[in-house]
Structure 1
Amino acid sequence: MLRAVMVDESVEVVENRPAAGSYHLLTLRAAGIAPAAQPGQFVHLRIPCCGGALLRRPFSIYRVRGQTLSILYKVVGQGTAALARARAGDRMDALGPLGHGFSLPGRDEQPLLVAGGYGVAALYLLAERSPVRGVLFQGGRSRQDILCEEEFRALGWEVHVATEDGSRGVRGLVTEPLRRELERGGQGRKLYACGPTGMLRAVGRLAEEFGLPAELSLDEHMCCGVGVCLTCVVPVRTETGWEYQRACTEGPVFDSRVLLWEVPE
């Protein structure tokens, strides 16, 4: 897992377009942040047109091209609605790259990626930079929540899709085809996942059941993004018991074996 040097810079909007349904793709020219970004890290954006009332918002770094980086986001409230109105040439303040990211698979490992909804955004850079190709298991409520499927196929990854309503791929949760794949057996398998907490918990349980290593990127509320406010702490195991760690600095990526999904009494 890697951590790069943090940069606070004014970035320029290169493109901001609809991707699918209520999802959008934003590309920023970020000469200081983009070249340093590692898979699984994020940027904290101060969204324009919102005045000083709103805090920065964290977004996974989806793709990097030279001095530009892209993020995938869903319009769900005032902040992301304002972000969707940004146009090419607009500027905003960005802090990044932040967080503790994924480690790249070894050449003797078979990576299995598990994405829920726009959690896929945190996994694309990992898939692109991986020295070996593996399998992506992608899930969502409906077909509109399945993003970047063809982009992963273009990288040479096998893709399995599951939707809860059956409108794309198989009907059901993404962990169901994942389980079937794990039951087939295989050497050197390692799980990487990003998505809703319930999905991550299920992936962690499967990793434990099959005796596999897993790296999970947690989707926690982050206010400051730099470990000061302590709003994103999660309980983790330690050699002497357990403690809270910050998802924005010690995470968002954690080894599944150290995560405690409930605070011990």
Structure 2
Amino acid sequence: MLNTLLTKAAAGEKIAMLTCYDATFAKVLALAGVDVLLVGDSLGMVIQGASNTLEVTMQDMIYHTRLVAKGAPHTVIMTDMPACSYEHDPQTALANAQTLMAAGAHLVKIEGGGEMVATARYLVENGVPVCAHLGFTPQSVEKLGGYKIQGKTEESAQAMLTDAQAMAQAGVSMVLFEMIPAALATEITQSINVPTIGIGAGAGCTGQVLVLQDLLGIYSGPTDKAPQDYKAPRFAQNFLQQGGSVQQAVSDYVQAVKEGRFPEDRHSY
């Protein structure tokens, strides 16, 4: 399934990806034509009510991957490797990645460039397809000083380009960019031979991803904060407002991505 998707992307077809955490939504999203279901560690926020993704465990990711795989057995499933499951040594990363693959994932996503290039290469060489996550990396939110756009300076943009090219050379299947300037994402997309997925990275990427709860307009922040204090990220769009049903909202998103109508300039940096 993954190879078929990558072939379509290479031929110019846009990839529509959404996060998913359970079997019911997995079935709905698959029927609506979503290409990739991302079992994201964003579940720490939208499912568990935390303020970030750092408390999510391997057991959480295994559990939710199994649920999604049951609901969408014929759709590509990507699973986030949670914090502390891959950063320390490649052997531990491989063991954890293989566990997620056994639970139903077709590829895993790891955050960061630099030292993570070697880890990505090791996973790929041992039969685990990888998606590299660059730009704003939620597991490094404390180090980055909050939810901030990345790649704004010439130095940081060059570093991201270098990391993306290194990841492509290491054999990753995809590169995901979060919250980076649209022009930079387009430049990098054109410079590497693997598909790119954007979230707050403009329309120049090979595909797009959103958090399902953002697409439905139902996420209002962590449980310890008042809903009225929450402000949706710039890159999010509530497709349910116009769609009228969950199924139609997802179908509208898929069509908008495929036709290049989403994201618009207002969703980009």
TM-score normalised by L of structure 1: 0.31
Between structures 1 and 2, the one with greater helix share? 2
Greater Rg by CA: 1
Q: Which has the higher strand share?
A: 1
